[in-house]
Amino acid sequence: MGDVDGAFGLWAAANPSTRHLLAGVEAADSWGTDGHKWLNVPYDSGYSFCADPVAHRAAMAYSVAYVTGHGEGPVRAPSDYILESSRRARGFVTWVALRLLGRTGVGDLVERCCRLARRFAGRMAAIEGVSVGNDVVLNQVLVRFGEDDGATDAVAAAAQESGECWMGSTTWRGKRYMRVSVANWSTSEDDIDRTSAVVEAAWRSLR
């Protein structure tokens, strides 16, 4: 059926009010997601889930005479399902975060970020010449400034240069947008309002 980039989206399943957004995801061949985004654990905590264990193993496992310990028998060898044989215990922080937060804690985090994303979208939509390009159903907000792609890129760059916030850019349906992802556990309403003010000032100085 295809592969799901659930870097943010898969975490929506932990929150009762966003879980419906994942309808049908179980039919995918694989999912990818990150812990270093919404789970707020350190970088290089990425996870992939493959529905077909035979294909998964065939893509990853290797066998050479001078490296032992790979699974040749009935017992699953974890190293047959990843790219590196030797690695630090990356999984530990993920385990700690999930044990600490539990499903409810992760769900609350998701809910809070979505609420802040809606707040940001509301602030943006109230500014003349600024439009929000997506339905803000999760933590993602696409913002366009005027009708000129260059203006949108310039506002995103100015916002980044301010040091107050960081957001990316994207092209969606042929148009440039500033792409905002609200994902940090410590982001507050005040942060959203400060960010909105910086973005608004950048747009006004460009007009």
Ligand X SMILES: Cc1ncc(COP(=O)(O)O)c(C=O)c1O
CB of 32 to ligand X, least distance (A): 7
CB of 30 to ligand X, least distance (A): 14
* Torsion over CA: 190, 193, 199, 203 (sign): negative
Tokens found for residue 106: 């992760």
Q: Which of 5, 72, 164, 193 binds ligand X (CB under 6 A)?
A: 5
Binding flags for ligand X, 78-117, as an x/- string (CB under 6 A): ----------------------------------------
Cβ-based nearer residue to ligand X, 61 or 94? 94
Q: Which of residues 41-60 bind ligand X (CB under 6 A)?
A: 46
The count of residues interacting with ligand X (CB under 6 A) is 5
Cβ-based nearer residue to ligand X, 3 or 193? 3
Region binding ligand X by CB under 6 A among candidate stretches 1-9, 73-81, 83-91, 197-205: 1-9
DSSP string, 115-170: HHHHHHHHHHHTSTTEEE-S--SSSEEEEEETT-HHHHHHHHHHHHHHTS---EEE
CA distances from residue 58 to 28, 50, 52, 82, 142 in whole angstroms, order as listed:
19, 12, 10, 11, 39
Strand ranges across the sheet with 30-34? 3-5, 30-34, 46-50
If binding is defined by CB under 6 A, does position 8 make contact with ligand X? Answer: yes
CB of 149 to ligand X, least distance (A): 20
List all residues 6 or more positions away from 192 whose beta carbon is below 8 Å from its beta carbon: 116, 119, 120, 123, 182
Region binding ligand X by CB under 6 A among candidate stretches 2-10, 54-62, 64-72, 82-90: 2-10
Q: Which of 11, 13, 15, 34 binds ligand X (CB under 6 A)?
A: 34
Cα(99)–Cα(170) distance, integer angstroms: 35
Contact residues for ligand X (CB under 6 A)?
Answer: 5, 7-8, 34, 46
